[in-house]
Structure 1
Amino acid sequence: MLSQNSLSGSIPPEIGNCRLLEWLELDHNMLEGTVPKELANLRHLQKLFLFENRLTGEFPEDIWSIRYLRSVLIYSNGFTGKLPLKLAELKLLENITLFDNFFTGVIPPGLGVNSPLQQIDFTNNSFTGGIPPYICSRKRLRVLILGFNLLNGSIPSNVADCPGLERIILKNNDLTGPIPHFRNCARLGYMDFSHNSLSRDIPASLGKCINTTMINWSGNKLVGPIPPEIGNLVNLGVLNLSQNSLHGALPAQVSSCSKLYILDLSFNSLHGSALMTVSSLKLLAHLRLQENKFSGGLPDSLSQLVMLLELQLGGNILGGSIPSSLGKLIKLIALNLSSNGLVGDLPTPLGNLVELQSLDLSVNNLTGGLGALGTLHSLHALNLSYNRFSGPVPEYLLKFLNSTPSSFNGNSGLCVSCHDSDSSCKRSDVLKPCGGSGKKGIKRRFKVALIILGSLFIGAVAVLILCCILLQNRDSKTKSEETISNLLEGSSSKLNEIIEKTENFDDKYVIGTGAHGTVYKATLNSGEVFAIKKLAISARSSSYKSMIRELKTLGKVRHRNLIKLKEFWVRGDSGFILYDFMEHGSLYDVLHRIRTPSLDWSMRYNIALGTAHGLAYLHHDSVPAIIHRDIKPSNILLNKDMVPRIADFGIAKIMDQCSAAPQSTGVVGTTGYMAPELAFSTRNSIKTDVYSYGVVLLELITGKTAVDPSFPENMDIVGWVPHALNGTEQIGPVCDPALLDEVYSTVEMEEVRKVLRLALRCTALPDCSTV
């Protein structure tokens, strides 16, 4: 045994002369280079432990011919190459652990037929093809871990009929088909099939797995109800079925799973009064039910969940008011009740939630003051937007006027208390000063009177001018009306239903706002969910021009990573554009506001890649080319499968490559995402989008906003990242802590560095000109 001895250098080929050697343990050292092929001469070798070194290159194929091999543990190196078919011929092999390498090709189809395999761990390689169909033929397999590969096909029924199986992890592949029926799963304790493309129902036979403690089947395409047999899993601690297409009510039998401490059913289409059902789960620490169709209000029984740290209920139809009993959940760190049609005032006991770090009450009909929140001194994230709150903002919450002023949007009654010696009134354009009296009030009324008199005079002149314009431009008006009539392409009945379902576009259905319109969520009788943008327009307004430009642009493009226009209408002074509803909202929501679902590196990378594909289509495949001119996280929407789709072409401009580059007047885009040297340019260029894309990449890696309050004064993310890196490639100082914990000491670390280098190139214009 030579393990854990800080050995360095390469493995001496002379070891191959020890022909009677049975155990070779060189693990946990600093060995480098390739494995010498001479080790294949160790014909009596039973155990080969080379894990946790720095070995590279192709693993010698002849070693897999040593017939006495029982355990091959070579994980956490840099091995490449493929596994030979003859690996399946080993008759004594019990443990083969290869995770964290660079193996490719298919897993030998016969693996498991001849070997009494007990443990297989191939995590984090690049294996392709299917899972061997007879991998559990000898009925001795205990651990099967194949996550983070490129496997496809279905899960073999042989796996679900493996009586000794204790742990199975198949996450982050491209597996399809149904989850097989379980027959002999009494010992199965841990199942992770997350982030594949598995479909069909959850099998009722899952109820046979009575010793299972963890189930994660999130991020698939599962449909149908949750079977009541789930109640048989009395040892279950974690149940994650999020990001599927499940429907139906939460079965009452779930209350029998008394050991549950994580329940995540978010981003499905489940309905009913689930909160009464889960209130008996006294050990729950994390309850995530957001983005479903749960109803029935917030019951007082929720206060029984005294261990609760996280309560995510946003995006349902709960209705009712917030009960005072919620203030008993004093361990809560995160609370999300957004988009639920809640009414009434905030109960005073909410102030007892002193550990609360994240609070989202947005898009409801809540009223009254914010006094109950004034004691929440641990808050780091707050969203109270689009309610009917009124009165002064508590002193402690004023910090959010600097960090996230949008937290208070859509509350016209809110204000900031002002004092002669206090400049807080000047901190934000979102909230007005409170009160106003005395001389200042008299002066204000005098000014208002002057404005009214002046407006009357100007109005009279304007009427005369308007009459002249109408007489001179009757033909022009006729053409404008013809243009509008040509746009009435959507179904009037559908628009009428949308108006009904949004209660004539009530603020509680708002899911986004922008310079050119407000976006609402509409759920139709058919169950279809749409996003509809409403614009106030006239034939001469900039909103009208913006709408026509967006319609023309969207009508031309068809790409997986671009939002698809469904229908559009013009009615009176309003325009309406219908899109598919994006279940995960915008990248800004997921990255900076909600942070649910958690963005691992594979998600961030796929979002970056998909956005690049969308921009490449606009810039290079569209004829004429299209410049978006406002690329930012809030304009990158994420569907159910976290596929990014670029949205909001309201200020896009088509660049005719066959003529001189068009001129632009004025500045378009968003502060922090515009290259300083291009912001005031009169010529459009795809470099505008490339710079903005680079800023988005920086946000994906750092987790910070483009103009973050944590940056030094007058510095944005483009300036802060190089400043923090200080000429090194040590990404720790700039990397999102959650991401750094994930990729530290993994092969993904170099991938993060490459994306960071690309981001710095794109923001170092004019060096980077294409995506």
Structure 2
Amino acid sequence: MLTKLQDLELFENRLTGEIPISIWKIQSLQQILVYNNSLTGELPVEMTELKQLQNISLFNNQFSGVIPQGLGINSSLVQLDFLNNNFTGTIPPNLCHGKRLRVLTMASNRLQGSIPSDVGNCSTLWRLKLEQNNLSGALPEFAENPNFDYMDISSNEISGAIPSSLGNCGNLTTINLSANKLTGAIPPELGNLAELRTLVLFQNNLVGSLPPQLSKCTKMDKFDVRSNLLNGSIPSILRSWTGLSTLILSDNSFTGGIPTFLSDFEKLSELQLGGNPFGGVIPPSIGALQSIFYALNLSNNGLTGPLPPELGKLTRLQQLDLSHNNLTGTLKVLDGMSSLTEVNVSDNNFTGPVPEKLMKLLNSSPSSFLGNPYICVNYLPSCGETCAGNNSFKPCNSPPSNRKGFSKVQIAFIALGSSIFVVFVLYGLIYLFLWRKKAKHDLEISAQEGPSALLNKILEATENLNGHYIIGRGAHGTVYKASLATDKDYAVKKLQFAGHEGRRLSMVREIQTLGSIRHRNLVRLEDFWLRKDHGLILYRYMQNGSLHDVLHEIEPQPTLEWSVRYRIALGTAYGLEYLHYDCDPPIVHRDIKPMNILLDSDMEPHIADFGIAKLLDHQSSAPTTSIAVVGTTGYIAPEHAFRTAKGVESDVYSYGIVLLELITRKKALDPSFMEQTDIAGWAKSVWSSTEQIDQIVDSSLKEELLDSTTMDQVIEVLMVAFRCTEKDPKRRPTMRAVIKQLLDADSQVRSTKG
């Protein structure tokens, strides 16, 4: 029946098991598209006899074993995509035998051996992706190939030199050879690559200086050679990289001073020069880099002198690392840099007070200020000695004290007061013991004996939570809106408890901990009150509702420009990063979805319900034979479909689904998708078969996509979403990596637009 079958398309069907051997014997087959399933087994040698086979897309499955070595001999392969499987053995030779191969993707497997020489001689090849394997040996020589556009062989065991013949591929835009064992110098022939935008060579053993011929790569956007053995000064001729957004030279042996010509890089968003023996002062020209917003790292050098006032012009900068230098003077210039989220000035010779606006950063990371014996911390009565953050910092001025000593009368009163204090302490301890004994029998616990004054007003404004004031219902409870006065709107969530009350003291502590968390992209908990069967949690009301409302519910649909969607994506990522990295212990949200992303009047996102899933999960101790799955269908990571999510990887997956909703304006489980297919499967399927962003993106954005730079950014964000929704949680990026990728996408757009 299938003897004339040409296209086998079974992608995105959640298939398991092996492909029947009879399929591999159908001589008329031209395409085998079974990607994004859970298929297993080995590829049979019979597939090497399929002479008409052009496209084999098996990515994101669990195939294993050795790829048949005669695969390319009889066929006219155009596309071969085996990404993210468990293949072992070597890459078959002669894959380009038919002179038609365009795409060769075998990344994220366990392949060994060297890269066949015919790969370098394949004049039809467009894209080569072999990253994250165990490949070894030297890179092949590359013949002239005007079609070759993209090469990623990172994270392998490749050794030897970078072949100068790569310069024959004049239309290469991306080269990533990072995390290998490459030696020798960067070949000057790479300067022939006029279209080169990304050159990533970090974590190798490259030596020598930067070849001045690279200045001919005038479209360079990202240059990363950190963690090598490179030396010499940075040639000023590289100022021709006018569109550069990322420059990373860290952990090499570059010498000289910080080049003043770096100020010519007007579109630079990240500058990493740490871990080199750069000397001299930080040049005032650093202030010209006003587009820099992600990171400035000048740590572990030999820099001297004070911070130039011009440094304060970098008002968008988020991460600043000046640690391990010999810098002097005060930190006053940093006081106006309100965008900073991370600062490290440790192990220098700074003097004077830590600026008031940096006190929060000092309190959260005191070690980032240590090693400066002459800096001090002002005593601020508003927060008392906690402003010091750590006993390692001396106060600049102490609280008022009596320097003349005490009189005998004062000493007598002090002694009397101390005695009375001791009596009260003993009384308090006895009372506490009796109270704790009583608490075992009296579990009516709340934040106060009754609701606070604010919550009383809320209850009054909502007529004791009358149904007329309901604005939403979710898995964790019902939400009401309370208006106390102009611009004084609150949202109060009523949580239902059905479990063991012995956890209530712990619940109070957990909610108090959640209330202490502060971040611009997290909804701030204002107040709470716990009863036996329910609890009230109070938040500020967000004027634009939830992202779910804006994307799917409001009619007619509000205009949502791409720049707004991007800002929502980035802000949400920042909020999740804070929960994962800056909370101790880290908080896994476990229910990231558009309904839990609230938008203020400026469309700035705020994540809601963080910590609530864990709170409600723990409050129940009733025995059960089933396992409760926390989360919402469509957003739950595959590995947690039948068990509770505990790792941060589950949040990353859910975040990827949110990204796809922002791009497509489709729901996670949209009726337009095929049966048993979610938004991730649908989007990956469409992209794999067409690589046309207009087939995926929300139709209201298509006019914006006429701008090629905007289209490039949308595609980059789509790629981030695909990485976040990898089936294997180990292959998903961290939220910190997601932010870096989103910022890279933004910097590329800005560098193109100027």
- Are residues 1:707 and 2:707 paired? no
Residue in 1 that maps onto 2:23: 63
Question: How many Å separate the matches in 2 of 1:744 and 1:709?
Answer: 19
Aligned to 2:128, the other structure's residue is in SS state strand
- Are residues 1:418 and 2:379 paired? yes
- Are residues 1:428 and 2:305 paired? no
- Are residues 1:747 and 2:747 paired? no
Return the offset for 1:278: 3.2
Question: How many Å separate the matches in 2 of 1:426 and 1:711?
Answer: 30
Query: Which of 402, 405, 427 is the matching residue for 2:366?
Result: 405
Residue in 2 that maps onto 1:603: none
> Partner letter of residue 707 of structure 1?
D
Question: How many Å separate the matches in 1 of 2:105 and 2:116?
Answer: 14
After superposition, where does 1:158-197 map in structure 2 within 5 Å?
A: 158-197=118-157
Of 326-335 and 414-423, the range deviating more from structure 2:
414-423
Alpha carbons of 1:144 and 1:354: their partners in 2 closer, same or farther (altered >3 Å)?
A: same
**Deviation sequence 1:392-420 (CA, Å, 0-9, x none):** 11111000122111110101111112255
Residue in 2 that maps onto 1:312: 272
Contact residue 65 and residue 86 of structure 1 kept, 8 A: yes
Alpha carbons of 1:721 and 1:284: their partners in 2 closer, same or farther (altered >3 Å)?
A: farther
Question: How many Å separate the matches in 2 of 1:79 and 1:181?
Answer: 35
Query: Which of 79, 101, 115 is the matching residue for 2:75?
Result: 115
Alpha carbons of 1:729 and 1:104: their partners in 2 closer, same or farther (altered >3 Å)?
A: farther
Return the offset for 1:86: 1.2
After superposition, where does 1:152-163 map in structure 2 within 5 Å?
A: 152-163=112-123
Alpha carbons of 1:195 and 1:419: their partners in 2 closer, same or farther (altered >3 Å)?
A: closer
> Partner letter of residue 191 of structure 2?
G
Residue in 1 that maps onto 2:190: 230
Contact residue 56 and residue 80 of structure 1 kept, 8 A: yes
**Deviation sequence 1:472-510 (CA, Å, 0-9, x none):** xxxxxxxxxxxxxxxxxxxxxxxxxxxxxxxxxxxxxxx
Number of aligned residue pairs: 454
**Deviation sequence 1:283-341 (CA, Å, 0-9, x none):** 11111111111111112110000100111111111111111111111111211110011
Alpha carbons of 1:442 and 1:381: their partners in 2 closer, same or farther (altered >3 Å)?
A: farther
Alpha carbons of 1:439 and 1:149: their partners in 2 closer, same or farther (altered >3 Å)?
A: closer
**Deviation sequence 1:151-196 (CA, Å, 0-9, x none):** 0000000110001001000000000000011113221100000000
Aligned to 1:414, the other structure's residue is in SS state strand
- Are residues 1:362 and 2:342 paired? no
Return the offset for 1:710: 8.4
**Deviation sequence 1:625-674 (CA, Å, 0-9, x none):** xxxxxxxxxxxxxxxxxxxxxxxxxxxxxxxxxxxxxxxxxxxxxxxxxx
Query: Which of 143, 148, 152 is the matching residue for 2:108?
Result: 148
Aligned to 2:69, the other structure's residue is in SS state coil
Contact residue 155 and residue 180 of structure 2 kept, 8 A: yes
Contact residue 339 and residue 364 of structure 1 kept, 8 A: yes
**Deviation sequence 1:505-524 (CA, Å, 0-9, x none):** xxxxxxxxxxxxxxxxxxxx
Residue in 2 that maps onto 1:210: 170
Question: How many Å separate the matches in 2 of 1:323 and 1:261?
Answer: 23
Question: How many Å separate the matches in 2 of 1:68 and 1:420?
Answer: 82
Of 399-408 and 270-279, the range deviating more from structure 2:
270-279
Question: How many Å separate the matches in 1 of 2:630 and 2:157?
Answer: 36
- Are residues 1:106 and 2:66 paired? yes
Query: Which of 372, 375, 392 is the matching residue for 2:353?
Result: 392
Question: How many Å separate the matches in 2 of 1:441 and 1:311?
Answer: 51
Contact residue 402 and residue 709 of structure 1 kept, 8 A: no
Return 5+ residue gaps in structure 1 as ranges.
1-40, 445-698, 713-718, 754-771
Contact residue 160 and residue 185 of structure 1 kept, 8 A: no
> Partner letter of residue 203 of structure 1?
P
Alpha carbons of 1:725 and 1:402: their partners in 2 closer, same or farther (altered >3 Å)?
A: farther
Question: How many Å separate the matches in 1 of 2:155 and 2:284?
Answer: 38
> Partner letter of residue 364 of structure 1?
N
Question: How many Å separate the matches in 1 of 2:301 and 2:404?
Answer: 43
Question: How many Å separate the matches in 2 of 1:222 and 1:89?
Answer: 38
Query: Which of 336, 339, 345 is the matching residue for 1:375?
Result: 336
- Are residues 1:257 and 2:217 paired? yes
Contact residue 113 and residue 135 of structure 1 kept, 8 A: yes
Cα RMSD, aligned residues only: 2.9
After superposition, where does 1:596-745 map in structure 2 within 5 Å?
A: 703-704=580-581, 707=584, 722-723=614-615, 728-730=629-631, 735=648, 741=656, 744-745=724-725
Contact residue 124 and residue 148 of structure 2 kept, 8 A: yes
Of 127-136 and 733-742, the range deviating more from structure 2:
733-742
Return the offset for 1:279: 2.9
Alpha carbons of 1:751 and 1:239: their partners in 2 closer, same or farther (altered >3 Å)?
A: closer
**Deviation sequence 1:36-56 (CA, Å, 0-9, x none):** xxxxx3000111111122111
Contact residue 579 and residue 588 of structure 2 kept, 8 A: no
Residue in 2 that maps onto 1:323: 283
Residue in 2 that maps onto 1:337: 298
Question: How many Å separate the matches in 2 of 1:177 and 1:306?
Answer: 40
Residue in 1 that maps onto 2:52: 92
Alpha carbons of 1:440 and 1:728: their partners in 2 closer, same or farther (altered >3 Å)?
A: farther
Question: How many Å separate the matches in 2 of 1:132 and 1:154?
Answer: 10
> Partner letter of residue 388 of structure 1?
N
Return the offset for 1:706: 6.9
**Deviation sequence 1:715-756 (CA, Å, 0-9, x none):** xxxx99944876645478962666864764332139999xxx
Contact residue 374 and residue 397 of structure 1 kept, 8 A: yes
**More contact order relative to length (CA 8 Å, sep ≥ 6):** 2
> Partner letter of residue 74 of structure 1?
V
Contact residue 652 and residue 724 of structure 2 kept, 8 A: no
**Deviation sequence 1:683-708 (CA, Å, 0-9, x none):** xxxxxxxxxxxxxxxx9997425736
Return 5+ residue gaps in structure 2 as ranges.
407-575, 590-610, 619-627, 638-644, 657-721, 734-754
Return the offset for 1:127: 0.6
Contact residue 711 and residue 720 of structure 1 kept, 8 A: no
Aligned to 2:214, the other structure's residue is in SS state helix
Contact residue 160 and residue 181 of structure 2 kept, 8 A: yes
Alpha carbons of 1:751 and 1:228: their partners in 2 closer, same or farther (altered >3 Å)?
A: closer
Alpha carbons of 1:709 and 1:377: their partners in 2 closer, same or farther (altered >3 Å)?
A: farther
TM (norm. structure 1) is 0.56
Contact residue 701 and residue 752 of structure 1 kept, 8 A: no
Question: How many Å separate the matches in 2 of 1:363 and 1:354?
Answer: 23
**Deviation sequence 1:77-135 (CA, Å, 0-9, x none):** 11111111111111111111110011111111001111011100000000110000111
Alpha carbons of 1:67 and 1:351: their partners in 2 closer, same or farther (altered >3 Å)?
A: same
Return the offset for 1:435: 4.0
Alpha carbons of 1:344 and 1:222: their partners in 2 closer, same or farther (altered >3 Å)?
A: same
Contact residue 160 and residue 184 of structure 1 kept, 8 A: no
Contact residue 153 and residue 174 of structure 1 kept, 8 A: yes
Alpha carbons of 1:347 and 1:58: their partners in 2 closer, same or farther (altered >3 Å)?
A: same
Aligned to 1:247, the other structure's residue is in SS state strand
Return the offset for 1:709: 9.7
TM (norm. structure 2) is 0.57
**Deviation sequence 1:224-263 (CA, Å, 0-9, x none):** 1001101001100110001111111010111111111111
